[in-house]
Amino acid sequence: MELIPSSDASLLVRLGRTIDPATHQRTLALFRALADRRDPRVTNLHPAYASLLIDFDPLALDHTEIGTLIEGLESGEPEREAPPPVHEIPVCYDLELAPDLMEVCSLTGLTAEQLIAAHTAPEYVVYFLGFSPGFAYLGGLAPELAVPRLSSPRKVVPAGSVAIGGAQTGVYPLDSPGGWRIIGRTPLALFFPENNLHPTLLRPGDRVRFTRLHRQQFDAALVDRTPGEQHG
């Protein structure tokens, strides 16, 4: 584990340099242990694939003290964790909602049916959230679905768009610019800013499954949208 001062008010804890489940698990364990302390001197935590950035109040803490704090957490008894929630996210792969689907098919050599089957098969892990509130970087994409990002990003990607960028897939929670290739859309809301406890559907470490939704179901779901979460 490397402790790297990132600014006078932040410390980067690097647990590895690769994207792999074990390093990610250790990153999340550290993130949760620190978050559970609710130390008012720690102002923000940014977990990523293999690192945790810790923002702190520089009038109250310094890098050495954070280092000591972390050592204390590591030597503590690891708590038995509840299994992560599994979110089922219904996706409509209708071409009208999936402007890049045909191109992803031609880039990968798959038919639309094969692509949808490969995209709905895995259980994905939420590595971390970034880019915009509630945007999850998901791990577990079938390698044959990896495609390069668009050479020039779209100015507006509609909220709910499901997309592939490189070896990753994700869902845009809000209308935003974006360079990933759009292969479908979910009617599910992923962003609830009025909910102080859980403003986003997905949290670091959660699991995600995509299920196929037909167009009629999609249109009906837009009318009555309710978040669907199962604890697995």
Partner 1 sequence: MASHSLQIRVRAPGLLTTVQDLGRLGYAHLGFSPCGAGDRVATRIANRLVGNPDGAPVLEITLLGPTLEFSGNALVSVTGSSIECSLDGQSFPAWQPIEVPSGSVLRLGNTVEHARSYLAVAGTPQAEPVLGSFSTDLGAKVGPFFARQLAAGDVLTWQSPDRVAEYVAEREVISRLYADGPLRVTLGPHREWFAPQVERQFFSSKYVVTHQSNRAGLRLRGEPLALPSNEHLLTEGVPLGAIQVPGNGQPVILFVDQQTTGGYPIVGSVISADLHRVGQLLPESEVSFVQVSMAQAWDARRNLEGLLQEAVREVAREAEH
Decide: is 18 part of the binding site for partner 1 (CB under 8 A).
Answer: yes
Decide: is 17 part of the binding site for partner 1 (CB under 8 A).
Answer: yes
Decide: is 19 part of the binding site for partner 1 (CB under 8 A).
Answer: yes
From the list 123, 90, 93, the residue with the least C-alpha distance to 105 is 93
Contact pattern from residue 127 through residue 166 relative to partner 1, giving x for each residue in contact according to CB under 8 A and a dash for the rest: -xxxxxxxx-x-----------------------------
Name the minimum Å distance from CB 179 to partner 1. Answer: 12
Residue 152 CA: distances (Å) to CA of 95, 120, 155, 179: 21, 27, 9, 7
* Binds partner 1 by CB under 8 A, chosen from 72, 153, 193, 232: 193
Decide: is 41 part of the binding site for partner 1 (CB under 8 A).
Answer: no
Question: What are the DSSP E strand ranges found in the chain?
Answer: 2-7, 10-14, 42-47, 51-56, 86-92, 124-129, 136-139, 154-157, 161-165, 168-171, 176-178, 181-185, 207-213, 229-230
What is the rounded CA–CA span in Å between residue 118 and residue 203? 24
Amino acid at site 25: Q
Residue 197 CA: distances (Å) to CA of 116, 175, 187: 34, 23, 22
Contact pattern from residue 87 through residue 126 relative to partner 1, giving x for each residue in contact according to CB under 8 A and a dash for the rest: ----------------------------------------
Name the minimum Å distance from CB 28 to partner 1. Answer: 10
Decide: is 48 part of the binding site for partner 1 (CB under 8 A).
Answer: yes
Decide: is 25 part of the binding site for partner 1 (CB under 8 A).
Answer: no
Write out the residues near partner 1 by the rule CB under 8 A. 4-10, 12, 14, 17-19, 31, 35, 43-53, 55, 58-59, 62-63, 128-135, 137, 174, 176, 191, 193-194, 196, 199-200, 203-204
